[in-house]
Every structure is written in structure tokens, then in C-alpha cells.
A and B are shown apart, each in its own frame.
Chain A
Amino acid sequence: MTVPDLAPDAVGDTERPVEPEWPKRLRWILILVIGLPYIWGLLGLELSWGALGRAPGQIWGLMGGLLPPDWSDIAESFNKLLESIYVAWIASIIGAFFSFPLGFMAATNMAPNWMTGPVRALLSGIRAFPELVLAIVLIPAFGLGPFTGVLAIGIHSIGTLGKLTSEVIEGVDPGPIEAIKATGGTRFQAMRFGVVPQAMPNILAYWLYRFEINIRASAVLGMIGAGGIGAEIVGRLRFRDDWPKAGAALIITIVVVLIIDAISAGIRRRIIAGHPGTGPVSRTLGTIVGDITPPVIEIQEA
């Protein structure tokens, strides 16, 4: 191909810059940094292609054991599922309640450095414990039961929500804060009227999202015997005869979790966008509230 002369008189006026080398080098560094540990990891995994080939059959067999589901004990399973959801809910409330002030204390644009440092360390310290590990550590004092589950999940939620909250707060537009300070407002007023209105939608959305995650976590905690649907499913999986009942419990769990997720996602989208979305859930939610009308589709016209 011959390059057409787009700029007959412009060539040579300005010297062309040299193409920087670093993107190419970065590419190689990345390949090494990611590839070598990956190979190291693969080597120790006792990979077995034969087992992998058999896997679909095995999974099929497992599924066959779960199906057709036996619905006779579904009331009990539902009750346990409800317990898991309640545990997740209270844990989320604990998380939201404590993480809110901590989030402000950990935000570099809100709190002085001597405060953000320790608070951040505290939050990441909390996050380092998975819920399950936290629950195990709490067992010697609190025994097994929903209470331990609430504490473990709640504490972990404080860590994650605190971090997310502080990130949201750090991301707010500093303009309004400056404007409030310019009118003679205090630091607290700047937070209340300058930061909270900007950050709240995202923070609320994170709270809801955390609730979704916590439902899964509280179901998982059942594995170590902390009550809820997890204990129910694992208990039933121990005996082959009970598998169809475990199947029923699993199905109901998945369905309920999906429903809650859909509702929560609809609400979150609505909170962040400030108006109902276009999905079926958002539209239903939108119809409840007459105050906010969906935006008119605008024509793309200059």
C-alpha cells in the first residue's frame, strides 16, 4: 500500500515524537509476572486430565442423586432458609451501622492522617478474616448458632463496607464541600450537606449488595454447624437417601436467592440512577412510587 499524502505542506514542520518503548516492555513484564506463578501453581495442583474427563459423568451422577427433588420436608427447609436470610439481614445492619462512621474516619478527604491510618489498618485487619474463619475463632466463646453467625458476618461486613464507604466518600466532588465551607459552614455541615447527599446513593447500594453477599455467607456458615440452610443441606448430603431432599432445599435456596438478588439489583439501580430502570423489576418498583416519572426518551438531536 502506498501512503497517500494527507499533509503535503505540513510534513516536516514539527518533528515527530519518538514512540515510547515502555508499553512493549510492560507487556513482557506482565507476561512474566503472571505466567511464571501460574505455571508454578499448575505444577502443584495434581492436575489430572483423566479425572477432568470423567468429571461431567460424575457431576451428572451427583445431580441424578439430587433429582427428582423430594418436596416433603420443604417447610422445614424454607424455615431454615428464612433463618439464613434473617442472619444475613441483621449482620448487614450491624455492618452498615458501624461501617458508616468508620468509613468517614477512613476517608483521606474527611479525616486527618493520624486517624485514617489506624482506621484503615483496623478495617483491612477485619477483612483479612474470612467469615468462616472468624466464626471458628468465635466458637470457643459463643458456641455454635445463629448468634455466632451474625457476629462473624456482621464483623466481616464492617470491614468490607467500611472500605467501600471510605472509597465512595473519597470519590465525591470536592466542589460542594468547598462551597459550604465558603459560606462559613463547619466541617460537620460540610459532611452533612456536601458529602452525604453525594455519597449516600452509592453507599446504600453497597449495603444492599452486601446483604446479597451475606445471604450466601450465612448459608455457607451452616457448613460448620452454625445453623441455617447450609447445615440443612450438608446434613442431608451425608446420607444418599436424603439427597432428593437436599435437592429440594438447594432448588428453593437458589430460587429465593435469585429473587432477592433481582429485587435488590433493581433497587440498587434505581438508587444510583435516581429513576426507575427499564428492567421488569425496576419497572414494577417504579409503579409503586408515583412521584418519580421515568425520563422521556430523548431524540438525539444537537
Chain B
Amino acid sequence: MTIADDPIVTERPTEPPRSVKYIVLIVGAVLLSIPFGILDINSAARGAVYGIIAYGLLLLLGVASRPTERSGLIDLSALVVAGAVGLKLYIIPIAARTTVITWRLSLRASVGWLLFGLVVGWVVYRNRKGTNPSAIILIGLAFAGAAFLALQAGTDVGYLESISNRAIKRGEFQNIEQVFHVWVGLIALGIGLAVATSFALGNAVVISLTVSAVFTMLAFNKIDFSVFEMISRSTQVSLLVEKLWPPDFTWSKSIGQPETFVLWEPFVETLRIAVVGATTGVILAVPLAFSASRMTTPNATVYWFAKSTMNLIRTIPDLFWGILFAAAVGFGSPFPGALAMIMFSVAIMGKLLSETIDAIDPGPLEAARSTGASHWQMVKSAAFPQVVPHYVAYALYIFELNVRASVILGFIGAGGIGRLLDERRNFFQWDQVMAIVLVIFVTVILIESVSIWVRRRIV
């Protein structure tokens, strides 16, 4: 049976490149990095580096194996020249015999790689149709950034010193700078190649996966997080139970006093902070959110102003708001905590609500405008009803978040149960810490259950 009996007149389109094989490649490289880690220093650190390099080379091979139209001679020589100049530029600043990698040194080394990256970018631009010229700069920056991150990653583990000592002993290198250059150079080259080739492929999935993979490997390296450590430490979980259990709910406020349920008062204080903070914040956020959505903003100035205000509030973490207000209106009182929670709530509600408003149906707005309504009348009658259920759901969600966040405020002296938690921790009273944690846990669960129940009924 043939499905298409008639001769097909239209030419069939070519299948677009699929990203699956690159995903396999990336996952493979990450996985490969683990056994390398075992072989070497019992840490993922070096394996990660091998992974990066291997991945970069594999990707390059993959691209190189595809037939291209042009002769690559000019490209190749340009790369060689740029590589040589870049290397020279990169070596010169590192004259001092030191393993201490300073800020400035990192930057200079990055500049050396920037040049090479720009040339790679240019080669990519020449060879791939439809590449935007800005890709040249981006690839250059990728190389520079890679060198910068590699230097930062290499310094912390104290790893550089150990390999350099060994390598010098074996007679492979004469001094530490050489080891250093080769080491950082390899990482930067690997990362740069990986990023550059993925850009050259022009596939969004490959680019994002490459960047994520590289970043992950660097992160593993930097904080020395390895699977082995995780396994070896998992045995310590029994320690947890031993120290935390059973919880101790009563203790004396100060020496000589009877043991009571001390945590009740700060607990109530935390609840008050959450209630006031969430309610005030959620109400204040409404005009801000409507001004900060393209859909409902009255004009560009207001939009810009509202958006920047929101971003500013959001960028500053709740704890910092707590510190700021505690310093302003006095440590130890719950008042600064409530002020911080207002900021916290405004930030979240402003963002969530303005994004929801961005997505509303513009039709009713147009209809309202066609009746001659004023701007805010239009917002009230055509935009607000569309987001009411979301608004209520967000408000309840923010209240939940507030209960959780206000716990933390005590740590910086802005009132509530957190202060007690910090105090018990400093006394190593883990069973009492556990009691506080359990109370918080039960409260949060209760509030969340009620909130979910209400949300279900409303939306």
C-alpha cells in the first residue's frame, strides 16, 4: 500500500538538525568526568576538567566532520596566529613567580584569551551562514570568561600547587608558571571550544546544554563537591537522629526559672509579622503591578519607574531588608520584621501579578477603551477581573511564604521565633532546636493546607 499515490510535486524539506546526539555527548562527557575523578585525586575536580576538554574536542570533531563549502586554510592559519599571539599576551603579564592568583592577573589572562576567542568567532561567522556578527563578540567573551572562571576555579582547591609540584618533580616542567599556563590554558581552551562550537551549531538546545554542563563542572570543581564525599557522609545521617531526637519542648528562660513552653511568645510574634507583612505588602503591590505591566501601564515613564522600583526591592534579599529596618527602628522588636516582610511581599506579588497581567486577553481592554473609559477605569473593569483569581491565589501563597520567611528574620534581630532558634543552636541544644523546627513545620503545613483548600474553592 502506498500512502501517496500521486507523484509528489512539492520538494520535501530537509530534516532540521536534531539535538539528541549532542545531548548524549554532553551527558557522556559529564559522566566520563566521574571515573577520571576516581583515578586521579578522589575528587570530581580534575575529572570535571577532563570532561570539559573532552567535550570541547568531541564537539569540534563533530562539526569538523561535516562537509563545508570553503577551504579552511585561511581559517586555520588565522587560528594559529591568533593562538600564538594570545598565548604570548597571556604569558607576559604573569612574570612573578607566584601561585597566588590575583584579581588583576585573572583579568589579564582573560584578555589574552579574548583575542583568540574573537578569531574563533570570526571563523565561525565566516563558515556558518546566517550567523549574526554579534556572535563573534559573544564567542570572544566566552573564551575570556572561560579563562577567568578557570583561574578562579583552579585557585581554591589548592590543587594547582599539588600538581605543579609533582609535574616539576617529574621534570616535565621547569617552574610553576609553566604548569599554571598549561593548566589554566587547557581548561579555558576546553570551555571556549565547547561554547564556540555550540554557538557555531546555532542550536539553542546545544548552546544551553553546553553552557550548563561547563558551569556544572566548574561548580563541582570549585566547591569540591563529589559523589564520593556524598556517599561517605551519608553515614553521618544516623548522627542527626541521635542528636535531634527526641525533641525537647520545654526549657527554662533563664537559670533558676521553671521549664516552660518558652517558644510560644516568639511564635505568636512570628505569626503577627507574617499577617501584617503579607496583607500590607499584597495591597501595596496592586498599583505597582498594574503600572509595571506593558498591558496596563499608563505611560512609559510610569512603567519604567514602577519596574525599576520593583526590581530594586526584589534584588535586595528579605534578610537585608530586615537588617536595614532593624538598624533603622531598633533591634529585637518585631516591627522591623514586619517592615521587611512588607518589602518581601511587595516584591513577589509585584512580579507575579505584573507577569500575569502581561498575559491577559487584550480584547476586553480594547473594548473598554472603545467605550471611552479612562485609563484606570479600563484597568479596573477590564484587566482586574481577569487577574482576580490569580491575585487571591498569589496572596495566599505569599502569606505562606511570609510565615516561612519571618522565621528567618529572628536570626538578624528582627523579632520572632528565629531568634530563639539561633540562640538554641549556639548552645548546641539540638533537641530544643528540633522542637522549634517541629513547631514551625506543623504551623507551615497547617497554613498551607488551609490556603490550598481556599485556593481550590476560589479558582
Residues of A at the B interface (CB closer than 8 Å) are 34, 37-38, 40-42, 44-48, 51-52, 54-56, 58-59, 62, 74-75, 78-79, 82-83, 85-87, 89-90, 93, 124-125, 127-130, 132-133, 136-142, 146-147, 150, 216, 219-220, 223-224, 237, 250, 254, 257-258, 261, 267, 270, 284, 287-292
Contacts and interface: CB of A to CB of B under 8 A. Distances in A.
21 contacts: A40-B275, A41-B271, A41-B279, A45-B273, A46-B335, A52-B335, A56-B328, A58-B328, A59-B328, A75-B103, A79-B152, A82-B149, A89-B216, A128-B404, A136-B421, A137-B244, A147-B223, A224-B425, A288-B138, A289-B202, A290-B131
* For the complex of A and B, 10 pairs with smallest distance between CB atoms: A75-B103, A86-B219, A290-B130, A55-B328, A287-B132, A41-B275, A51-B329, A58-B328, A128-B444, A41-B276
B302 interface: no
Nearest to B237: A141
Contact of A220 (B128, B149, B338, B408): B408
Q: Chain B: interface residue count, which band?
A: 35 or more
Given A58-B327, A223-B411, A129 B225 contact: no
Interface in B190-216: 199, 202-204, 207-208, 215-216
Interface string B416-451: 001001100100001001100100110011001000
A288 B317 contact: no
Given A40-B275, A78-B152, A79-B155, 9 more contacts: A44-B268, A58-B329, A75-B106, A82-B222, A86-B223, A128-B444, A136-B433, A147-B233, A287-B135
Given A79-B156, A90-B220, A288-B134, A40 B272 contact: yes
A141 B430 CA distance: 11
B397 to A, nearest CB: 11
A59 B203 contact: no
Interface string B226-249: 000100010011011001100000
Contacts of B128: 290
Given A48-B335, A59-B324, A142 B233 contact: yes
Contacts of A223: 319, 411-412
Contacts of A224: 411, 422, 425
B254 interface: no
B411 A45 contact: no
Contacts of A288: 132, 134-135, 138, 199, 202, 207
Contact of B329 (A37, A52, A150, A250): A52
Nearest to B325: A55
Nearest to A42: B276
Given A93-B216, A288-B135, A267 B437 contact: no
Main secondary structure of the interface of B (DSSP, over half): helix
Contacts of B156: 79, 83
B165 interface: no
B212 to A, nearest CB: 8
A273 to B, nearest CB: 11
Given A48-B335, A55-B328, A62-B328, A147 B225 contact: yes
A51 B220 CA distance: 47
Contacts of B250: none
A86 B218 contact: yes
Contacts of A287: 132, 134-135
A90 B134 contact: no
B225 A150 contact: yes
B89 to A, nearest CB: 21
